[in-house]
Amino acid sequence: QSVLTQPPSVSAAPGQKVTISCSGSSSNIDNNYVSWYQQLPGTAPKLLIYDNNKRFSGIPDRFSGSKSGTSATLGITGLQTGDEADYYCVTWDSSLSAVVFGGGTKLTVL
């Protein structure tokens, strides 16, 4: 069971918008930066968002991140079939002195 909670799956139609939530606690999300990763099938993960809301180099502005209290959210607009992937949130947990991952969310673009 992951320290950070993500929905197992989300879906939306091409061109639509989707949000993926990541819920944690005061020892992790509330007091540390959150990053988000995309993992396409059969490939290594790729950094999308760091420091809660900063897009990594080369990431289109269709991807956005936000944080409020003990929760973070990844938003993707203008969905494309190429966005079908697993998405993970990550942060540091000050109580565990460990990096913690969300369980991952599988995005399906219908």
Partner 1 sequence: QVQLVESGGGVVQPGKSLRLSCAASGFTFTSYAMHWVRQAPGKGLDWVAVISYDGDDKYYADSVRGRFSISRDNSKNTLYLEMNSLRAEDTSVYYCARDPTPIPRHYFDSWGQGTLVTVSS
Contact residues for partner 1, defined by CB under 8 A: 2, 32-33, 35, 37, 39, 44-47, 50, 56, 86, 88, 90-92, 96-104
Work out the end-to-end distance of the chain between its first and last CA atoms, rounded to an integer number of angstroms: 28
Number of alpha carbons in the 13 Å side-chain half-sphere of residue 47: 13
Smallest distance, Å, CB 41 to partner 1?
11
Nearer to partner 1 (CB atom), residue 13 or residue 44: 44
Smallest distance, Å, CB 33 to partner 1?
7
Long-range contacts of 43-47 (CB under 8 A, 24+ apart): 45/88
Smallest distance, Å, CB 55 to partner 1?
12
Task: Name beta bridge partners: 22.
Answer: 72
Nearer to partner 1 (CB atom), residue 79 or residue 100: 100
How many residues can be counted in the chain?
110
Residue with tokens 């992937």: 85
Nearer to partner 1 (CB atom), residue 16 or residue 95: 95
Nearer to partner 1 (CB atom), residue 19 or residue 50: 50
Beta strands 105-109 and 9-12: pairing type?
A: parallel
Smallest distance, Å, CB 98 to partner 1?
6
